[in-house]
Amino acid sequence: MKRIACLLSAMIAAIVAIALRVLGAEPVAADRVPPDRLPGFIAGEIAKWRTIIKQAGIRLE
């Protein structure tokens, strides 16, 4: 059963990676990016997109 669970997990990960690529995202293996970098990455993305959204005049409806 453990082997089946590992296989299913790998298949799901592959499917998710493909789906992310279709959406324009670049999936990165968790062992390549330490979790402590995530908050900084998110803060940087928020700042970047905030500027772009304000410059474009985009507003929520």
Which tens digits make up the pLDDT trace of 1-56? Answer: 778 777 777 777 888 888 888 989 887 777 777 878 889 988 999 999 999 999 99
How confident is the model at residue 29, as a pLDDT? Answer: 73
How confident is the model at residue 55, as a pLDDT? Answer: 96
* Token couple for 43: 């803060």
How far from chain centre, in Å, is Cα 20? 7
pTM of the predicted model over 0.75 = no
Measured between alpha carbons, how far is 19 from 23 in angstroms, rounded to an integer?
A: 6
> Cα–Cα–Cα angle for 38, 41, 42, nearest 5°?
85
How confident is the model at residue 48, as a pLDDT? Answer: 94
Query: What residue ranges do the domains of the chain occupy?
Result: 2-56
How far is residue 15 from each of residues 12, 26, 39, measured CA to CA in Å? 5, 13, 26
* Token couple for 2: 């453990």
How confident is the model at residue 27, as a pLDDT? Answer: 78
